Chain A
Amino acid sequence: MDDGEMEDVAEGPCGLSRITLSQEENVNTNNYGNSEQISMTDCEGDKAERPIEDCQIKGEKAKLKKLCGYLHKLGMKGPLKAWKYRFFSFDEKKCHLVYYRIATDVCPLGSIDLCTATFDMKVEMEEGTFEINTPSKVFILKAVNNHAMTYWLQQLQLRRWEFCKGDTGIATGTWLSTETPVSDFDSPNANDDCEFLPPVKTPTEVVGSAIASLPAPQESLSLQNISLKHPWKELQNTVRNFCTSKPTPGNSVFHFEKPESASEEKAGKENHGLEELSKPVPKLSPSLNFARKARRLNGVTNPSHEWVSTEMGYIEKFSNPHQQIKALTRELDSQKELVKLLHRTVEAAHQEKRACSDYLNAAEEKDRLELVRHKVRQIEDLRQRVEVLEKENKDLQQTASLKDVHNTELKEHIQMLMEKNSAKQEVILKQTEQLLIQNEPEFVKANTTVTLHQLWKKIDSLMDDLEAYKTQNQFLNSEILQLTNLWRNASEKEKGLLMKCSYLEARNCQIESKYLIVLRKLQEALPYLDAEYCEVIKNLIGDALQSVTKDGPNQSPIYFNPVSEYDDYGFMIIPHYEVEHLKLLAKIQALEIRSNKLLTQDVVDKSLKTKWDNIEELAYSGELKNLIRCGIPTEHRKRVWKWLVNGRARIIPNYYAQLLKKCENSPHPATQQIELDIHRTLTNNKHFTCPTSEFIHKLRRVLLAFSWHNPTIGYCQGLNRLAAVALLVLEEEENAFYCLVDIVHNIMPADYYSHNLSGSQVDQRVFKDFLAEKLPRLTSHFQQHKIDLSLITFNWFLVVFVDSLVSDILLRVWDAFLYEGTKVMGLWNSWVIFRYALAIFKYNEEQILKFNEESDIYHYLSFFTKTICDGRKLMNIAFNEMNPFRLKILQNRRAVHKEKMKMELFELEKMKEEYTKKKDDERTELDMVFSEDEEEN
């Protein structure tokens, strides 16, 4: 029944038509349907849980007809693997296919979730068998025939589509404007009908709500049919059925009206139907309108289907009186015949009467005799005629028998000829076979024996199979298409939701971090507040901190998204602060990093990723340089680093293996130190904190090999961190070894890691010059508070920010550091470190300027690198705001400071020598004094 139809009619002139229309459908099904329908309207609403009633109510509302009916279901569990007869009904609210033992049952035996189900049909199986595959179970069902099966499958598909589509519409349409319109997939069936299975007509005798009222056809076999799995439900249903079978009208939906009343109703309805028909055209036209409207409204499936069904109702109604007319005319004809017969008898009677009256009227005896004689003569005459006729008859019979004999003779002859013919045919066949054998001597004899007839049979069955496979193929195609569409919709939806989720999460992080910042401010102001406020704030801080430690990164609500506790390289994402009162800051930190990541991952990272995916061959270029400064995506980093390292380092085959062999044979003096440091390398990385990790062994070998490769450096604390990062990215230890070699020998200036780290110390001085130039305000602030920056920055340079910056930014810095560590003017350079070191100070300049105590400044500087979350901002400062930054100046300053330091060292050595000499002298003097004292004692 159609929605639009109902409304339209309700507004129409005739209020009664509502009933008529709602019953219309049942008119063409069967009488049971009628009675059920009528009883239904009586008790509607008081038993909503009744499946059949449910379907009726919904049937009125929904666009589609209620889908229900009996099917066989293969019991999968238990010892009895048998077909069970079940009543299936589609629940539109949940998109479930619910099944009952019989239609009148209250409690379903089970339900199948169609949202996640796929449908399948197999030719090999019995006729009408199809499968519903849900993630958890496979249901094998059997309809009475293939037609019904196809109907079921198509309807199920349609409903699944309707449900899922509706679902999508709600979820995506609400907030995302960028969402691709779903309309492309709106009507999968409408346009595919031509390619795939055409929609089959409703097999009314096996599906539809009317079937519910029919007794289950196999109820006699109830023992087999009883569900073993649901004994309780069985019991419930049985009890219900007993109750409802009591003659309490209005209680049972399936209460059958008394026969008379039913027929009365029927008659009444027929009258209605006639009325309907006799109504003038304007009465019909609104219904035509609504049909059109409905078609427009639906636009989705195939409204013509329903239209046809209502049309059918009318035709049915028309044909009924026609038949009556026919019957009546027939009756009239027979009556006429009867009248004629009666007329004839009346006529005969009249004649006899006349003869009698003539005889009686004759006046004399003579006349009467004459009359009698005349009659006798007449009789004689007639007798003679009869005799003649009899004779003729006999003759004819004789000729007939003769002809018969002749006929049989002819038949025999024909038989003979036929036999002859078939014999001849056989001979011909044999001869042709022989001919064939002669023509093709290798032709297998077995084949020749196969008669034409058998071949035909085979072909027939094959054709049948072909047909079946065709249908199967068509169905599966449509199924695949629909599933693909569903999947696409679902993934679209998921994407949208994920985006929304990450957006909301980012917002949440921001809000939470703001809250924490407020808390922190309050915490700082704590000493100046009233005691009661202090208590409240302390509690709040305690709560905020506890949620960090208690929930753990895994369960905390902040971390339900794909971002885990560790990043791709195994670094802990949340910076770990050692100082207790910085934990609030740590949390703010983590939240900011997270919100940053969430906000950029969708937009920025994706566009970069596509750019990276388009790069096929790596070559130095301005474009690549800019891309690399933005950070190499994880999946490309290994390749790029390898390319960069191999481009610079001289790789000698087997060299690494030889070095390893050397390590085995003779331990390097640095071995002890390496061993000491290996277990305390990258303590915030899970690959290095786990003692059984392969990375630990790799790191040991790389460092040992390096100590033999460059004996002047051997091992310097810090090299372990460089090698560890190289290992994490490059994975293979030989590559990591060459990366380390590349950094130490090529990118960094000489003497950076050797004996007295003079290269590093020179760079500290150079850096101070640059800081004074680029950030004069900060430099004077530092000078004012006697801050020696190299206490802080020394290790930045030595280990290229490892353990200082958050892993995400660290690797980005390394990308640029490795790429731009190329030779310029014959000199290797590490200007990326300078740029970033300056950028780090610039990034936090205002914050640093707020501190006015030496210890506060040092304290802030000892952790502030980890507070940097916005890698893009930092990169911008490093490569744009710090310009102009000339490499030439860097090299010049390095040279100048190197000279200066050499001089200083020389003087220091001299001073030291003098000092020791002086001390020695003093000591000898003192000793003399002491000995004098002792002597005194």
Chain B
Amino acid sequence: MAIRELKVCLLGDTGVGKSSIVCRFVQDHFDHNISPTIGASFMTKTVPCGNELHKFLIWDTAGQERFHSLAPMYYRGSAAAVIVYDITKQDSFVTLKKWVKELKEHGPDNIVMAIAGNKCDLADIREVTFKEAKEYADSIGAIAVETSAKNSINIEEVFQGISRKIPPLDPYENGEIGAMKLGRPSLQSTNRCC
């Protein structure tokens, strides 16, 4: 099986749980007080996808706004970006929109975007509805998932969704149709939790 390296970066407001998602995905571990990321942190995980192995090179970034100026370093050359917001904080959804805008303007052309509404275990204090997020995601052609790093909900699915949306190396051999359409995916994630 061929191993394909996929650079993925995580973006989003501070404290929404970017590092927690990565930590859950890579190590299946959750820590309430995971150190805030400064600059960036790097991790890898390999998952099978079809007849390929996808090795995710995950760049987890700092959330605070003044670190935005560093972001181009991280999303430069990324195959995908997971943009995370906190469903209990409307502000974080606003920030998410800013990120999407920046990626659209300065990011790689064919970057796959996934929108992850984290902390869905706290649905009773929710500020952002899934509908709102889903509609927005559809409008930009991104995957929309609500996740919980704490309860390990939909974390794998986010990356599986990305894997599916990545065009295969040789489209002629694999013959997948959906992968041909970049930016406007026919496959849409219907995963949701809670």
Binding site for B on A (CB under 8 A): 578-580, 673, 676-677, 679-683, 689, 716-718, 720-721, 754-758, 761, 788, 790-792, 794-795, 798-799, 803, 854-855, 858-859, 861-862, 912, 915-916, 919
Contacts and interface: CB of A to CB of B under 8 A. Distances in A.
* 3 closest cross-chain pairs (CB), A and B: A794-B39, A795-B39, A795-B38
Contacts of B23: 578
A717 B64 contact: yes
**Centre residue among A680, A859, A915, A919 by max chain B CB count within 10 A:** A680
B14 A676 contact: yes
Interface stretch (B66-74, B133-141, B146-154): B66-74
A795 B36 CA distance: 11
B39 A798 contact: yes
A677 B62 CA distance: 12
Contact of B73 (A680, A757, A788, A916): A788
A680 B41 CA distance: 16
Contacts of A916: 105
A794 B70 contact: yes
Contacts of A854: 5, 57
Nearest to A915: B105
Contact of A718 (B5, B38, B40, B74): B38
Interface in B36-65: 36, 38-44, 55, 57, 59, 62-64
Given A791-B39, A862-B41, A717 B33 contact: no
Interface stretch (B24-32, B109-117, B165-173, B180-188): B24-32
B36 A717 contact: yes
Contacts of B69: 756-758, 761
A681 B44 contact: no
A718 B35 CA distance: 10
B55 A578 contact: no
28 contacts: A579-B27, A579-B43, A673-B64, A676-B15, A676-B36, A679-B32, A680-B36, A682-B35, A683-B31, A683-B33, A717-B38, A717-B67, A756-B69, A758-B69, A791-B40, A791-B73, A792-B39, A792-B42, A794-B40, A794-B70, A795-B39, A798-B38, A854-B5, A855-B5, A855-B57, A862-B42, A915-B105, A916-B105
Contacts of B31: 683
Contacts of B94: none
Given A681-B35, A683-B31, A717 B43 contact: no
A413 to B, nearest CB: 116
B34 interface: yes
Nearest to A713: B66
A767 to B, nearest CB: 13
B66 A756 contact: yes
A580 B38 contact: no
Contacts of A798: 38-39
Given A757-B70, A862-B41, A919-B105, A689 B5 contact: no
A761 B36 CA distance: 19
B34 A683 contact: yes
B36 A791 contact: no
Given A717-B64, A855-B55, 20 more contacts: A673-B64, A676-B36, A680-B34, A683-B33, A683-B35, A689-B33, A717-B38, A756-B66, A757-B69, A761-B70, A791-B42, A791-B74, A794-B70, A855-B44, A858-B57, A861-B42, A862-B43, A915-B106, A916-B105, A919-B105
A689 B32 CA distance: 10
A922 to B, nearest CB: 11
Contacts of A795: 38-39
A681 B35 CA distance: 6
Contact of A578 (B27, B38, B66): B27
